[in-house]
Structures are given as structure tokens and as C-alpha cells.
Structure 1
Amino acid sequence: MPVPFIKAATPRVGEGKGERIVLSLVLAAIFFTGLHLGVAGTRLRDRVITALGQGGYQGAFSLASVIGLVWLVAAYNRATYVATWGMLEWWKPLAIILMLPASLLVVIGLTTPNPTSVAQEGRLAQPPQGIVRVTRHPFLTGVGLWALVHLIGNGDVASLVFFATWAIVALAGAVSIDHKRQRLLGAAWEPFAAQTSIIPFAAIGAGRNRFEAGEIGLWRWGIAFFAYALMLVGHAPIIGVSPFPA
């Protein structure tokens, strides 16, 4: 799924200020990654909560996240185009295929109650259901897949920094959340972790769970497929690049 206002793979040109713009993108990537992996999933978070309270921490973290996101996207859109391997036309058919599971994971993950989501730890007492049977981090897995698909397809330095940042934050973030839940919840976390997996279908393949498509709900499937179709149709007019091979 595309991120709004991102000109993925469009040649970005610039003179004079090019180096400073690339530096801004790198700094934004470091800030965004550090915020989500160096604060949210570590004991530093506990210290900040002690100082500010839970509400204060959530407010400060949300504000910093918005600032980091806006900075990252703006810096990427302004970055000078420096080619690496160049845009890969042969990758586009594969990207179209891979973006279907990415869209399903993101949309269904966003709309499914999950003990790994913010303030939903109380659901640990309930058995995993729906997409959580497939992966306990569906949204982050979908974002990570989206980022990797675009990282490969967009062969320039700015895209490498931008999409690598999203891939690292999403995929390493899933591991970070697991560690945080284990540290804070202890034994209450272990049964849920044993029945589920980070890697999609790993727990199902190991016989620790089973796939129940009906639990996901027709409306979630419908919204996810609609979002995928919308992405294909809207990618060229919104992002500026056709997802289909020339």
C-alpha cells in the first residue's frame, strides 16, 4: 500500500542543496528509527513513564512520532535523485503479487483486536483468532513487506534509506514489542507467544495453531481487497508511478 504524498521512484532533481537534503533524510531516518526501537521497546520507555506518567508518555511519543513521520516523508520527497540499480521494470509484476498479502496483512491487522496492539494486553486471556493465528504482528509484517517490495523496485539512494527505515522499524519493531510484552507481562505472555508466531504461518506450520479464514470476517476481506484494488488504480495518479510494467 502506498503512503500518501510519497513520490515513490520518481526522479528527484536538485542542485546545490542536494547534500543537505540527503543528510536531512538520513537524520530523519535515524530519529524515526531511534524513537520506535530505542525508546518504545526499551527500559528508557519505563523511565519516561515514571517521569511523565502513562498519559504524558503517550502524548509525547505520539507528537514525536508525527514529527518524525512528517520529517521523513518530506525529506524523502525533496531528496536529490541518485541512482543505484535503477527502477526495475521486471520487478513490477512480482511487486503487484506481493502487495496483495501486504495489503491483506495491513488492513486486516488494523481492524483485528490483538494483544500486541496498544492497550490491548487484556486480550491475552482469549485464544488467538483470525489473522493473529497467522502472525501476531499482522500490521507490522504487512508494512515490512510493503517496504521491502518498494526498496527493491526503487533503485535510488533516497528510496534505499526511506524504505529500509520502514522495513527496519516494522520488522525489528515486532521483535521489540515481543521483548517488551515478555518483560512487562511475564508468564501471562508465554501461552499466547507459544500459540502464535512473528513469521506468517510459522505457528500453523509447526502445528501450534490452525488457520480459520472465517474468523477474519467477510467485511475485513472485502475492505482489504478493495484497498488493494484502489492501490493499483490510484498508484499512478497519486504517487506518480504506474505499478504496471511498461
Structure 2
Amino acid sequence: MTLFVAGLLVFLGIHSVSIVAPRWRDAQARRMGENGWKGLYSLASIASFVAMLYGYGIARQIPVMVYMPSMVLRHLALLLMVPVFPLLIAAYLPGRIKRLSRNPMLLAVILWAVSHLLANGTLNDLLLFGGFLGWAVADLISVSRRAHVRPVPSAPASAVNDVIVVVVGLGLYAFVLLWAHARVIGVSPLG
């Protein structure tokens, strides 16, 4: 559990620099160069992500149950996951969906975290999904208060992007739901 928690804290901490110290982040990027900063940021993110995943896998072997989710909550979780992949894709393919949601990636993380909290009741699940939920809500609030938000590289805005976002997003959700989640995570969301 220690490796999991350390990896989670470092990963979320790195991703919180713009929330708690945006000026410091910008100063480091100027000092190191944008590519130098992104390289260091990426290496630290990957290392902490690997530690978090490996530690989570170990923690899953000795689960500490906090609550037992009902079948109704598991079905609700499946429903809440429907817009997650389209929202993730909308962050990079601007159209009406991105404009209306304002920050589709953070909304996707919030829905992903809430749905997984509804469907899972172990301590490590609460730490993982609760941590991401808290981070995403804090970042959403932070982004709405920032005077300058760094742009996310994306395709040119187009009405066709909304169709692509929905079709590809729902296709990805079906792929994860019906095949990838069981193969990669080791648990089928469908029971």
C-alpha cells in the first residue's frame, strides 16, 4: 500500500503544480525551457504512474473493504461512464461539445472517478478514485479562476469534430467495457 500511496501522491502532486503554484511552474518552464520542463514533468509523471499502478496491483491482493456497492450503484456507474470517452476526445477535437463543457477532460476525470467510487468499495479504490476526484474538482475550480490558461494542442474547431467525438468515444467505451477492462485491469465491469 505504501508504494501505491506514494505513487498516487507524487502523480497528483505533479499534476497540481499549476493549481497551487502557477507562477513557480511558469518560472521553471522559462528557466529550463518549455521542452526541458515538459521532459522533466513527463519523466516524473511516468515514474509515479508506474509506481501507483504497480502498488495498486499489490494492494488489490489484500483488499480492505470499506463498503459493498449494490448492483444499482454498479449499473449507475456504467451509465455515468458513457460520456467519459467522448469528453476525453472532445478536449482535442474542439466543437460544440468542448465549448459547452468548457473543460471536457476534467469533466471526464470527475465522471470516471465518481462512477468508479460507486462501483468499488475497497480502501485502495477510495484512495485512487477519491484522489483523482478531489484533484479534478480542485483543478476545475483553479482553471476557472486563472487569468491565463495554457492552450491544449488540438485540431482545428469543426462541427464534424462533434460527430467524431461521439462515434469514436462511444466506440472506445464499448471496447473498454466489453474487452479491454477485463484484459488490462483484470475485472469485467459487466460482472
TM-score by length of 2: 0.82
Give the superposition deviation at 1:98. 0.8
CA distance in 2, matches of 1:54, 1:242: 41
Give the superposition deviation at 1:184. 6.9
- C-alpha contact (below 8 Å) 1:108/1:131 kept by paired residues: yes
SS of the residue 1:228 aligns to: helix
SS of the residue 2:66 aligns to: coil
Partner of 1:227: 172
Partner of 1:47: 27
* Shift in alpha-carbon separation, 1:184–1:107, aligned structure 2, 3 A: closer
* Shift in alpha-carbon separation, 1:82–1:36, aligned structure 2, 3 A: same
Partner of 1:218: 163
Partner of 2:77: 95
Partner of 2:154: none
Match of 1:112 among 86, 93, 104: 93
Task: Work out which structure has the larger RCO, using CA pairs closer than 8 Å and 6 or more positions apart in sequence.
Answer: 1
Give the superposition deviation at 1:169. 2.6
Partner of 1:31: 10
Give the superposition deviation at 1:219. 2.5
SS of the residue 1:218 aligns to: helix
Q: How many aligned positions are there?
A: 180
Structure 2 unaligned residues grouped into runs of 5+: 152-157
Higher Cα Rg, which structure:
1
Pairwise CA RMSD? 2.5
CA distance in 2, matches of 1:36, 1:89: 33
1:81 aligns with 2:63: yes
TM-score by length of 1: 0.65
Partner of 2:182: 236
Identity of aligned residues (%): 30
| Higher helix content, 1 or 2 | 2
1:137 aligns with 2:103: yes
Q: Given residue 173 of structure 2, which amino acid in structure 1 is its aligned partner?
A: Y
